[in-house]
């Protein structure tokens, strides 16, 4: 008897528990999906801090660096006057082991790789956004778009940057863009060359803002602004600003600084180091001798 009365209750309880469990699992699945969707969307819109400075790897000991000297200021920057007198963020720009990353030969050549993974029309739109950013910097430093990557000082690619692993974080961070440079020697002169990777998720005004920002790094602003209205602000913003007077003031100050780039080793330095440098560089179809690589995000 007791058994008979217990069974229906037990079944009701069981089915109740099952319903609760299913409802809970359903909710959990929906919540999980929402988290994923929100993350994907926020990544597409605001891939967080777009870039960051990574520590410069140890410079190979065999390499001698020409002693740093300033180059003469490019006329475009010499002419620049800031009517708003809005200052700069030069203190945020880091010199590297070769000094400031200034170009000394103009125009600086830029190669824009036409994307292959998207339609011709989408590729054209993408290239046009990149071209616009190149045009925006052109009044401050002469730039020239070239058709082959071999001769380019700066190469721009539509490609996801490698995930960023950092010591404190368990999970790697996605980056919307990454700018790296390499150093090479040609006839004993030290030069650099830049590579810019732009994440395929970047489109429209965010793509334009990313190229504008990364080109700022590649032109020598190796650091970030703390003010949102500057193109070199460290984070992405909803309404990306154009190149600001503060960006140009900072660029101008960078070009007044000493650098080892664009200079040659002294005769004494050369005889000391030439043999060792060449053997460490490996194959030297100039100007491809890779000495060192570092990145800014
Ligand atoms: Zn940056």
pLDDT in tens, 233-265: 999 999 999 999 999 999 999 999 999 999 998
Q: Say how many domains are in the chain.
A: 2
Range of the domain at 15: 1-45
Q: Is the pLDDT of residue 97 over 70?
A: yes
Q: Is the pLDDT of residue 216 over 90?
A: yes
Residues 32 and 59 in one domain: no
Beta bridge partners of 180: 195, 295
Task: Look at residue 45 in the predicted model and tell me its pLDDT.
Answer: 34
Beta bridge partners of 186: 189
Centroid of ligand 1 to alpha carbon of 225 (angstroms) = 9
Residue 235 has phi, psi (to 5 degrees) of -120, 165
Centroid of ligand 1 to alpha carbon of 281 (angstroms) = 29
Residues 285 and 183 in one domain: yes
Task: Look at residue 290 in the predicted model and tell me its pLDDT.
Answer: 34
**Assigned token pair, 199:** 């994440």
Residues 66 and 106 in one domain: yes
- CB burial of residue 148 (10 Å; 0-12, 13-18, 19+): exposed
Among residues 178, 175, 239, the alpha carbon closest in space to that of 204 is found at: 239
Centroid of ligand 1 to alpha carbon of 288 (angstroms) = 26
Centroid of ligand 1 to alpha carbon of 210 (angstroms) = 9
Centroid of ligand 1 to alpha carbon of 226 (angstroms) = 11
Centroid of ligand 1 to alpha carbon of 297 (angstroms) = 5
The per-residue pLDDT for range 270-296, each reduced to its tens digit, is 665 544 443 333 222 223 333 344 666
Residues 6+ apart with CB under 8 A from 83: 245
Q: Please give the mean pLDDT across all residues of the chain.
A: 80
Residues 55 and 188 in one domain: yes
Lowest-pLDDT range of 2-6, 70-74, 224-228, 293-297: 2-6
Centroid of ligand 1 to alpha carbon of 142 (angstroms) = 21
Residues 71 and 40 in one domain: no
Instruction: Tell me the C-alpha distance between 169 and 202, whole Å.
Output: 24
Centroid of ligand 1 to alpha carbon of 107 (angstroms) = 23
Lowest-pLDDT range of 154-158, 162-166, 236-240, 256-260: 162-166
Centroid of ligand 1 to alpha carbon of 51 (angstroms) = 4
Q: Is the pLDDT of residue 81 over 90?
A: yes
Cβ distance 129 to 170 under 8 Å?
no
pTM for the model stands at: 0.74
Helix axes 120-137, 204-218, angle to 10 degrees: 50
User: What would the mean pLDDT of 150-160 be, rounded to a whole number?
Assistant: 96
Centroid of ligand 1 to alpha carbon of 52 (angstroms) = 6
Total residues found in the chain within this entry: 297
Cβ distance 208 to 199 under 8 Å?
no
Centroid of ligand 1 to alpha carbon of 37 (angstroms) = 26
Residues whose Cβ atom is located within 5 A of ion ligand 1: 51
Residues 282 and 205 in one domain: yes
Residues 38 and 54 in one domain: no
Helix (H, G, I), strand (E, B) or coil at 5: helix
Q: Is the pLDDT of residue 41 over 60?
A: no
Residues 6+ apart with CB under 8 A from 44: 201
Centroid of ligand 1 to alpha carbon of 255 (angstroms) = 18
Task: Look at residue 18 in the predicted model and tell me its pLDDT.
Answer: 58
Task: Look at residue 161 in the predicted model and tell me its pLDDT.
Answer: 94
Residues 118 and 214 in one domain: yes
């Amino acid at each position: 008897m007791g058994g008979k009365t217990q069974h229906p209750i037990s079944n009701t309880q069981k089915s109740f528990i099952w319903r609760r469990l299913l409802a809970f699992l359903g909710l959990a699945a929906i919540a999980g999906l929402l988290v994923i969707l929100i993350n994907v969307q926020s990544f597409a819109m605001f891939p967080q801090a777009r870039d960051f400075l990574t520590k410069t790897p140890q410079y190979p000991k065999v390499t001698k660096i020409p002693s740093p000297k300033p180059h003469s200021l490019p006329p475009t920057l010499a002419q620049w006057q800031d009517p708003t007198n809005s200052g700069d963020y030069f203190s945020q720009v880091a010199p590297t082991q070769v000094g400031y990353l200034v170009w000394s030969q103009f125009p600086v050549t830029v190669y824009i790789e036409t994307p292959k993974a998207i339609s011709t029309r989408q590729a054209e739109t993408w290239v046009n956004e990149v071209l616009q950013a190149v045009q925006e910097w052109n009044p401050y430093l002469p730039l020239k778009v070239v058709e082959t990557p071999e001769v380019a000082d700066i190469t721009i690619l539509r490609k996801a940057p490698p995930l960023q692993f950092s010591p404190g974080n368990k999970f790697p961070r996605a980056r919307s863009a990454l700018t790296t440079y390499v150093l090479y020697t040609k006839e004993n002169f030290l030069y650099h060359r830049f590579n810019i990777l732009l994440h395929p998720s970047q489109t429209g005004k965010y793509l334009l803002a990313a190229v504008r920002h990364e080109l700022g790094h590649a032109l020598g602003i190796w650091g970030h602004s703390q003010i949102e209205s500057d193109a070199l602000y460290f984070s992405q913003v909803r309404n990306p600003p154009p190149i600001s007077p503060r960006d140009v003031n900072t660029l101008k100050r960078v070009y007044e600084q000493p650098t080892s780039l664009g200079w040659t080793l002294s005769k004494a330095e050369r005889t000391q180091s030439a043999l060792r440098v060449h053997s460490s560089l490996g194959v030297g179809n100039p100007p491809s001798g890779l000495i060192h690589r570092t990145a800014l995000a």
